[in-house]
């Protein structure tokens, strides 16, 4: 009974923090599906990554807040409902996630596990041979609480994103990827430096202080030897 009472207190505290979170309130006001939109917004405004006319791939897209923000960047003059502008889109967005995602006008969505070859091939085919300007990845594994196991899972997702960039990203393109501070962080940083000429770590204000979540941004791709 004590454990159950403690659990209820924790859930109540989380709910209270969530509903009073200024980014949650702002997301509801702006029509975004989650507060995550402001993480990408801050990264974009800091580094100027997103420009109309680009081809962007959104990995780990559900529930869709990053794709909503991208769409708003590509159609900023036409206000719409649901956090994304409506009307003609000056750019292309291809989104992928293991989970279902409610449709966003103009966003091509693929449901599947990026770790599976057939899904990665389907994503590649959807690009229609075009080179990608920007890859944004909010992918994260189900964390086990075992640090070494979780670090390996995160590293695997990063490696997949980097492999995709090697195959499809423009030379002057960029990758934004979620990582976590911990025993594996230096390894993630090394991987980025192996693949990009410029690497910047950034923890947006919209990312909760108590969270180990942070983001690595790689710019100007180093092509792997073939």
6 catalytically annotated: no
Q: Give every CB contact of residue 64 below 8 A, 6+ residues apart in sequence.
A: 33, 95, 101, 102, 104, 107
Would the annotation count 53 as a binding residue? no
Separation between Cα atoms, residue 155 and residue 112, nearest integer Å: 19
Q: What's the number of CA atoms in the CB half-sphere (13 Å) around residue 195? A: 26
Would the annotation count 30 as a binding residue? no
CB 19 within 8 A of CB 13: no
Would the annotation count 113 as a binding residue? yes
Would the annotation count 97 as a binding residue? yes
The catalytic position among 9, 178, 200, 203 is 178
Would the annotation count 138 as a binding residue? yes
CB 37 within 8 A of CB 61: no
Separation between Cα atoms, residue 137 and residue 52, nearest integer Å: 19
Q: What amino acid positions are annotated as catalytic residues? A: 178
Residues annotated within a binding site: 64, 66, 97, 113, 138
Residues annotated within a binding site for S-adenosyl-L-methionine: 64, 66, 97, 113, 138
């Amino acid at each position: 009974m004590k454990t159950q009472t403690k659990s209820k207190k924790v859930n109540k505290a989380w709910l209270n923090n969530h509903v009073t979170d200024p980014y949650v309130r702002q997301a509801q006001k702006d029509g975004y599906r989650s507060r995550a939109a402001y993480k990408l917004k801050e990264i974009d405004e800091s580094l100027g990554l997103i420009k109309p006319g680009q081809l962007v791939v959104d990995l780990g897209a559900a529930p869709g807040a990053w794709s909503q923000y991208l769409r708003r960047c590509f159609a900023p003059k036409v206000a719409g409902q649901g956090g994304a502008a409506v009307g003609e889109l000056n750019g292309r967005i291809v989104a992928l996630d293991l989970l279902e995602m409610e449709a966003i006008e103009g966003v091509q969505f693929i449901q599947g596990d990026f770790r599976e070859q057939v899904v990665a091939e389907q994503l590649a085919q959807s690009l229609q041979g075009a080179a990608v300007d920007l890859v944004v990845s909010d992918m994260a594994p189900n964390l086990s609480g075992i640090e070494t196991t979780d670090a390996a899972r995160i590293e695997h997702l990063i490696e997949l994103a980097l492999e995709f960039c090697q195959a499809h990203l423009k030379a002057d393109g960029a990758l934004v990827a979620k990582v976590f501070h911990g025993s594996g962080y230096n390894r993630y940083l090394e991987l980025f430096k192996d693949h990009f000429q410029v690497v910047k770590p950034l923890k947006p204000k919209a990312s909760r202080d108590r969270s180990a979540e942070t983001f690595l941004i790689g710019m100007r791709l180093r092509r792997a030897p073939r």
